[in-house]
Amino acid sequence: MNAARTAVLLILLWCTSSSVRADAVRWLIDVDDAKRQAFADHKLILMLFEYASFDRSAKMTSEVWNQDTIIGLSRNFVCLRVDLEQMEASRNILLKDKNQKLIVRYRVTSVPVAVIIDATGNLLLTFNDENSLREIIGLLHSVPTDLNNLYAILQSLDRDKDNVRLKIAAGDEYQNLHISHLSNSYYEEVEDEDTVKNHPLLSERIRSSRAVNLDRMGKSGEAIDIFERLVDEQPPSENRPFQLYMLTKLYAKRLKEIRARDYYNILRKDYPQSEFTLKAWEVLKD
């Protein structure tokens, strides 16, 4: 009888501990394992830096990482925990060295802090315990989940690191995913390459794409500078209607209506049938 009761208790304890593990964020501890899994599963990496015994880290665990909504959202990521306390005590020199490099690369100066990166280590965003639970949930919802095309490009680029066309493709894909700062980092890397400089249309496309990203990043002044240089180039490009539309839109956004209308009037005069002329009018009408 006692043996039977013991067996039942052991089964209950096993089930309970299994449910606890299932209802928690699943943390890895090695960044290389995390990157391999991220590539395999086409996921981003959520990396937490903490000092487990610190009150702030314990508070964030209780108020964020143990919350059901966060646990559910964590399944969209490969999760990696870097515990600085364990790192200090660890005798695993290789793992300690990897974690030290992560601390330097992501400029970790206080903990707890979390970063979201792609499988190659590119930084998308950062948050910490000063962000509210609602803000963190919003951030986790805001990042892309369809990474198949991006990771195919990045894996090809890893095998051919100097391939300019692949770098441009990476920039394009980051732009499609609305990750503007990473998109521009790839465009800027190739802008002075001969492959780009010797092909005016390709150079123009990259500069135009950079300007679109700058606008999305809230840097409309820098975007205007690029588009105005593109509009002034001779001979005019087939993309001039788009460039004039963007200048109309950007100046309207900056509440400089006279400048916006100047560019709209050029559009209306030179390209009356263009879809961008209609779009520019819609901007001014609003």
Helix axes 240-253 and 220-232, enclosed angle (nearest 10): 150
CATH number (domain holding residue 129)? 3.40.30.10
Instruction: Quote the pLDDT of residue 4.
Output: 52
What total number of domains does the chain contain? Answer: 2
pLDDT, residue 20, reads 36
Residues 227-240 have a mean pLDDT of: 92
Q: Is the pLDDT of residue 21 over 60?
A: no
Task: Clarify whether residues 135 and 211 are in a common domain.
Answer: no
**How far, CA to CA in Å, does 210 sit from each of 30, 132, 171, 195?**
35, 32, 9, 17
* Mean pLDDT score across all residues of the chain: 91
DSSP letter assigned to residue 270:
H
Q: Is residue 174 domain-shared with residue 280, that is, in the same domain?
A: yes
Q: Residue 5: is its pLDDT beyond 80?
A: no
Residue 184 in any domain: the answer is: yes
Answer yes or no: is 130 within a domain: yes
Strands (E) in the chain, as ranges, are 27-28, 44-50, 77-83, 113-117, 123-128
Q: Are 226 and 203 in contact (CB under 8 A)?
A: no
| CATH code of the domain covering residue 258 | 1.25.40.10
Domain that holds residue 52: 20-142
Answer whether 0.75 is exceeded by the pTM.
Answer: yes
